[in-house]
Chains A and B, each alone.
Chain A
Amino acid sequence: SQQGEEDPQALSIQEGENATMNCSYKTSINNLQWYRQNSGRGLVHLILIRSNEREKHSGRLRVTLDTSKKSSSLLITASRAADTASYFCATDPSGGSNYKLTFGKGTLLTVNP
């Protein structure tokens, strides 16, 4: 079963706008990660936020985590056409052996020039 569920499934914006994607999950976690996938290619790790963190930044990326609501958001500021990709959240459940991540179904982001 999927631990993380991204919302929306698809998002289309203009270059320069901000893009926000959300992820909800079901069980307690050690950390939550966001990955990016360009069309037909492998996933690339973007950013990790631990369960005791509320916000994290990396360049144009801002991730928030609300463990009480079991949700996270990924904000991409000043988007570029090159940001067009699918974005996945992945959860590392707590209480486990840290052996695998569980991925959501992804949000397809299209940034129009």
Chain B
Amino acid sequence: DADVTQTPRNRITKTGKRIMLECSQTKGHDRMYWYRQDPGLGLRLIYYSFDVKDINKGEISDGYSVSRQAQAKFSLSLESAIPNQTALYFCATKEGETQYFGPGTRLLVL
């Protein structure tokens, strides 16, 4: 199911670099989310957006920023990457009660 896509799928970067993870969706959903997944910690919410003008912090937003460029696009930026931001990042949309996830971006910060 390619309704929610993420780019890049894998990224290696160095401490202090700024990087952007991109998410696009063709589902026409207003609600979009960014999560990170770490082994043993499950999914934690970074940011979420109800529409282009409505962006909200999740439980672990420090060190991250987001941009909702259009209904279909929601980008996550790490302004100055640090090693503990190494994780698997997921974008998701929500329609009604169900979330739809992208394939994930595996990020390694050296």
Contacts and interface: CB of A to CB of B under 8 A. Distances in A.
Interface string A21-47: 000000000110101000011111100
A48 B100 CA distance: 14
- Give chain A's interface residue range (CB within 8 Å of chain B): 20 to 34
A41 B1 CA distance: 12
Interface in A90-110: 90, 92, 98-101, 103-106
Interface string B50-76: 100000001000000000000000000
25 contacts: A2-B42, A30-B97, A31-B97, A33-B97, A35-B99, A40-B88, A40-B104, A40-B106, A42-B92, A42-B103, A43-B43, A43-B92, A43-B99, A44-B1, A44-B101, A48-B97, A48-B98, A90-B99, A99-B31, A99-B94, A100-B45, A100-B58, A103-B42, A104-B42, A105-B40
A89 to B, nearest CB: 10
Interface residues of B, number: 25
Contacts of B106: 40
Contacts, number: 53
Interface string B73-110: 00000000000000010101010011111111010000
Nearest to B106: A40
Interface of A: 2, 30-31, 33, 35, 40-45, 48, 88, 90, 92, 98-101, 103-106
Nearest to B102: A42
Interface string B3-35: 010000000000000000000000000010100
